[in-house]
Amino acid sequence: METPADTPASRTFKVSSVPSEDDRADTLIEIKDFDFYYGTKQALFDINLKLDDKRVTAFIGPSGCGKSTLLRCLNRMNDLIDGTRITRGGVKVRGVDIYGRDVDSIELRKRVGMVFQKSNPFPKSIYENIVYGLRIQGVKSKARLDEVVEKSLRGAALWDEVKDRLHESGLSLSGGQQQRLCIARTIAVEPEVILMDEPCSALDPIATAKVEELIHELKKQFTIIIVTHSMQQAARCSDKTAFFYMGKLIEYADTRTIFMNPANAQTEAYVSGRFG
């Protein structure tokens, strides 16, 4: 197993994704000329980015570089924060402007799910956590709910660990299990995109490895965008990597290129551990 210990000595990267023929993916999300403000403070400057369908894209960069902000713009979670505004540009998912007038952010979030930095299972049973999304959509059939619970837990590689205690509280699980429960909860509503905001930052190396394995599995079905502080993690599990600095997109390329042969000097300095 890879040790993700982030020591300067271990800053060598094993890049998982080998470019091949089927690497030509369709664009699912297109961010164009995107400017974003928190109140009067500009957080994102002129972002242009095309994210591939059924691929893992990693956002990396030092704290406060705007990577989480951009992620939260993709399912309009930033709408919840007072004083946020977009002054220019937009985000298109499957060609539809998600900030358009006729877009319902509720419908958007059903398609673009999110896993948070701090695992946040609801203080309900494991079962109820998983079916939450379906219940609010009005699904009542017990058989259907049971089926989704098993499928989602299997999908999140959690089924074997919890199948005998589905009705215990989700909070009784360990940190890593809680995070996988949150992933299971997200895939239960069958989104197209899963946004992950530093999903492993509170997990130990073993739990992190499990979540990373899971990401590999999930990309067969879902488009995954992951924000991470760990460059090893980006290297291990993403196909493409975007490097942000001070609210600007500095470089976006195949993960291999970013880590082995970055075009930009700042990117090189960051991935080699000279700052950030």
Name the nearest CA neighbour of 44 among 59, 66, 60, 24: 66
How distant is the alpha carbon of residue 72 from its chain centre?
10
Q: By C-beta, is 4 or 133 nearer to another protein?
A: 133
Cβ count near 207 (within 10 Å): 18
Taking the complex as a whole, the smallest distance from the CB of residue 184 to another protein amounts, in Å, to 12
| Per CB under 8 A, 80 contacts another protein | yes
3-state secondary structure of 176: helix
Given the structure tokens 């619970």, which residue do they identify?
A: 149
Task: Write the CA distances from 87 to 1, 33, 81, 238, integer angstroms.
Answer: 45, 10, 16, 30
Taking the complex as a whole, the smallest distance from the CB of residue 16 to another protein amounts, in Å, to 27
Taking the complex as a whole, the smallest distance from the CB of residue 266 to another protein amounts, in Å, to 31
| Per CB under 8 A, 140 contacts another protein | no
14-22, 27-35, 132-140, 206-214 -> range binding another protein (CB under 8 A): 132-140
Taking the complex as a whole, the smallest distance from the CB of residue 52 to another protein amounts, in Å, to 22
144-152, 179-187, 233-241, 259-267 -> range binding another protein (CB under 8 A): 179-187
**160 burial level (CB within 10 Å; 0-12, 13-18, 19+):** exposed
Q: By C-beta, is 134 or 231 nearer to another protein?
A: 134
Q: Which residues of 6-22 are buried (b: 16+ CB within 10 A; e: fewer)?
A: eeeeeeebebbbeeeee
d(CA 69, CA 41): 13
d(CA 244, CA 175): 28
Q: By C-beta, is 189 or 207 nearer to another protein?
A: 189
Q: By C-beta, is 33 or 107 nearer to another protein?
A: 107
Q: Which of residues 39-78 bind another protein (CB under 8 A)?
A: 75, 77
Q: With CB under 8 A, what is the number of residues at the site for another protein?
A: 26
Residues within the interface to another protein (CB under 8 A): 75, 77, 80, 82, 106-107, 109-110, 113-114, 116, 118, 120-123, 132-133, 136-137, 169, 171, 182, 185-186, 189
